[in-house]
């Protein structure tokens, strides 16, 4: 079967459905509606296989049926993923619907060309063409009134291994929920050797009830109205739409490269010591002195250090003009709300927060200390009200971008445990957040060796990446 992507050939395109007769309809909460027309979250899990098991005939005849069967069994627990987001003309807001007679998950089975070097893709610190990864993630369908929730692509690298590429609609699930699904799929797949009816651990059994999300400030309508106003500006033909805004979130792959860097536990300890030694040298506006923490989290250390390295690299590459930067990050609200949200709640329970930095802070001499203090302070203040300012977030972002500020963000988390996901073929050789190429985004996972380090995925202009590589490594050479 021919493929529009000349780097792969399609073996099969099909739909995998759960064996269920249950019709399901779920509302979207305000946490979901924040991301209504946001780009898909795309991840790739790369797995190595012995030569014999990665031969096309063996792989497609023996391993793929196991992956398909376990996917169908898993979807019985995760019915929203097999459905769609719909927005009927007579409905004031969109919702999730699963119809057992028609719905299922799109699955693409593919094989890549022999000239694609599997081992090169797995390398750290070795940039490769950013567009290459787009060969291994599937398209996610969306129109004004309909949007798929998830699509999956399994790609064979003959004589090396395979990848599982997953595209998910952010208005249905956040990173924690999508990882829960992949872990459940892997658990059931691995258990098929022992039983035809595998059970899930309680923590992997999704909690689907939406009434645990309270909305006293009517944020649902705030975000629906915000998206309608944005839609009327960008898509003048239709205000009421759930179509992913591809014009705003197009992958930035021309002249761009993708690379993974690592901050080891030792690197993080050195950064922690260095930043805290200068902590009190920085005085906030009004002469306010911030408390001196005993230790900074790996999140604060990684985000502050990587963001200033990115800013300096961009600044040096465009020395003819001074750039402005901002930084924002997602926050899991499950344990930050006034009422308890179950740990296995399946849906969105994250908000985005913009750090209160000045645009020039990232390129100052002690920028890493300034930014670390700002991120640390933002996280501390969330205990007082994690939802504060959420009603004006989208307009604040649009205003900043309109002023030419380059916004840096974060995707993923070191707490998801993605390198522990074993389908029965061993742990992943690499996990990549592909969709970081849709903006200036830092992709975070725990280190593959599970020894307390952090992996950082980036997509940057080739010249910027070269500068980042130098700044990143030189900055870790402490006296």
What is the per-residue pLDDT for 5?
Answer: 62
Q: Single out the catalytic residue among 144, 391, 422, 466.
A: 422
Question: Do residues 329 and 408 make contact, with C-beta atoms less than 8 angstroms apart?
Answer: no
> Is 170 known to be catalytic?
yes
Question: Do residues 422 and 48 make contact, with C-beta atoms less than 8 angstroms apart?
Answer: no
What is the per-residue pLDDT for 345?
Answer: 97
Does the pTM exceed 0.75?
yes
What is the per-residue pLDDT for 236?
Answer: 60
Residue 248 lies in a domain: no
Distance CA 253, CA 438 (A): 9
- End of a domain among 234, 267, 282? 234
Residues 133 and 276 in one domain: no
Residue 251 lies in a domain: no
Candidates 52, 161, 157, 154; CA nearest to 105 is: 154
Residue 321 lies in a domain: yes
Residue 399 lies in a domain: yes
Nearest-10 crossing angle of helices 367-381, 265-277: 90
Collapsed DSSP state (helix, strand, coil) of residue 126: coil
Sheet holding 146-148, edge to edge: 24-27, 95-98, 84-86, 146-148
Residue 243 lies in a domain: no
Residues 330 and 224 in one domain: no
Can you tell me the mean pLDDT for 16-23? 94
User: Is the predicted pLDDT of residue 162 greater than 50, yes or no?
Assistant: yes
Residues 360 and 443 in one domain: yes
Q: Single out the catalytic residue among 39, 170, 353, 469.
A: 170
Distance CA 105, CA 108 (A): 10
The domain in which residue 28 lies consists of 8-234
The contacts of residue 346 (CB under 8 Å, 6+ apart) are: 78, 80, 173, 177, 180, 181, 206, 207, 208
Distance CA 465, CA 471 (A): 10
Residues 210 and 280 in one domain: no
Question: Do residues 255 and 130 make contact, with C-beta atoms less than 8 angstroms apart?
Answer: no
Collapsed DSSP state (helix, strand, coil) of residue 373: helix
Candidates 426, 424, 428; CA nearest to 192 is: 424
Q: β-pairing, 150-157 with 24-27?
A: unpaired
Residue 247 lies in a domain: no
Question: Do residues 396 and 311 make contact, with C-beta atoms less than 8 angstroms apart?
Answer: no
Distance CA 331, CA 334 (A): 9
Residues 279 and 381 in one domain: yes
368-384 pLDDT, tens digit each: 999 999 999 999 988 77
Partnered with residue 416 across adjacent β-strands are: none
Distance CA 128, CA 121 (A): 7
The contacts of residue 315 (CB under 8 Å, 6+ apart) are: 322, 323, 363
User: Is the predicted pLDDT of residue 36 greater than 80, yes or no?
Assistant: yes
Residues 187 and 298 in one domain: no
Residues 178 and 321 in one domain: no
Residues 226 and 270 in one domain: no
With 0-12 / 13-18 / 19 or more C-beta atoms within 10 angstroms meaning exposed / middle / buried, residue 262 is middle
First vs last C-alpha separation in the chain: 58
What is the per-residue pLDDT for 395?
Answer: 83
- End of a domain among 234, 264, 284? 234
Collapsed DSSP state (helix, strand, coil) of residue 314: helix
Residues 183 and 277 in one domain: no
Mean pLDDT across the chain, nearest whole number? 92
Question: Do residues 110 and 154 make contact, with C-beta atoms less than 8 angstroms apart?
Answer: yes
Residues 126 and 33 in one domain: yes
> Is 32 known to be catalytic?
no
Question: Do residues 157 and 391 make contact, with C-beta atoms less than 8 angstroms apart?
Answer: no
Question: What band does 320 get if pLDDT is binned at 50, 70 and 90?
Answer: low
CATH of the domain at 330: 3.30.559.10
Residue 408 lies in a domain: yes
Number of domains in the chain: 2
Question: What band does 233 get if pLDDT is binned at 50, 70 and 90?
Answer: confident
322-360 pLDDT, tens digit each: 789 999 999 999 999 988 899 999 999 999 999 999 989
Distance of CA 347 to the CA centre of its chain: 14
CB atoms within 10 A of CB 4: 7
Residues 173 and 297 in one domain: no
Residue 93 lies in a domain: yes
Residues 361 and 218 in one domain: no
Question: What band does 461 get if pLDDT is binned at 50, 70 and 90?
Answer: very high
76-103 pLDDT, tens digit each: 999 999 999 999 999 999 999 999 999 9
Distance CA 30, CA 328 (A): 19
With 0-12 / 13-18 / 19 or more C-beta atoms within 10 angstroms meaning exposed / middle / buried, residue 248 is middle
């Amino acid at each position: 079967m021919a493929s529009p992507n000349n780097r792969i050939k399609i073996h099969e395109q099909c739909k995998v459905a759960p064996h269920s007769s249950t019709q399901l309809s779920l509302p979207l909460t305000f946490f979901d509606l924040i991301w209504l027309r946001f780009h898909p979250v795309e991840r790739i899990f790369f797995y190595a296989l012995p030569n014999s098991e990665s031969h096309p005939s063996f792989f497609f005849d023996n391993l793929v049926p196991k992956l398909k069967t376990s996917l169908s069994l898993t979807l019985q627990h995760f019915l929203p993923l097999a459905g769609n987001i719909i927005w009927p003309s007579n409905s004031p807001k969109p919702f999730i619907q699963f119809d057992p007679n028609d719905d299922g998950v799109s699955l693409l089975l593919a094989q890549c060309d022999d000239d694609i070097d599997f081992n090169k893709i797995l390398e750290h610190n070795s940039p490769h063409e950013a567009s290459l990864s787009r060969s291994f993630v599937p398209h996610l369908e969306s129109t004004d009134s309909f949007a798929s929730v998830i699509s999956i692509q399994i790609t064979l690298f003959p004589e090396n291994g395979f990848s599982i590429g997953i595209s998910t609609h952010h208005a249905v699930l956040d990173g924690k929920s999508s990882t829960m699904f992949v872990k459940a799929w892997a658990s059931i797949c691995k258990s098929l050797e022992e039983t035809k009816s595998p059970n899930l651990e309680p923590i992997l059994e999704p909690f689907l009830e939406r009434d645990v999300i309270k909305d006293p400030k009517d944020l649902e309508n705030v975000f629906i109205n915000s998206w309608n106003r944005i839609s009327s500006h960008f898509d003048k033909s239709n205000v009421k739409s759930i179509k992913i805004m591809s014009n705003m979130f197009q992958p930035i792959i021309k002249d761009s490269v993708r690379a993974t860097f690592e901050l080891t536990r030792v690197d993080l300890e050195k950064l922690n010591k260095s930043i805290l030694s200068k902590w009190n040298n920085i005085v906030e506006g009004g002469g306010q002195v911030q408390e001196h923490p005993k230790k900074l989290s790996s999140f604060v250390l990684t985000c502050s250090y990587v963001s200033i390295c990115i800013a300096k690299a961009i600044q040096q590459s465009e020395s003819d003009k001074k750039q402005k930067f901002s930084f924002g990050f997602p926050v899991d609200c499950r344990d930050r709300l006034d009422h308890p949200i179950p740990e296995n709640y399946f849906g969105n329970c994250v908000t985005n927060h913009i750090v209160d930095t000045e645009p020039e802070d990232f390129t100052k001499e002690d920028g890493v200390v300034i930014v670390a203090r700002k991120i640390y302070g933002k996280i501390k203040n969330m205990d007082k009200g994690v939802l504060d300012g959420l009603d004006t977030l989208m307009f604040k972002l649009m205003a900043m971008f309109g002023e030419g500020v380059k916004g840096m963000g974060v995707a993923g988390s070191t707490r998801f445990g993605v390198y522990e996901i074993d389908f029965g073929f061993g742990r992943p050789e690499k996990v990549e957040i592909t969709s970081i190429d849709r903006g200036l985004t830092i992709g975070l996972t725990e280190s593959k060796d599970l020894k307390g380090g952090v992996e950082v995925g980036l997509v940057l202009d080739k010249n910027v990446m070269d500068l980042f590589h130098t700044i990143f490594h030189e900055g870790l050479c402490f006296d």
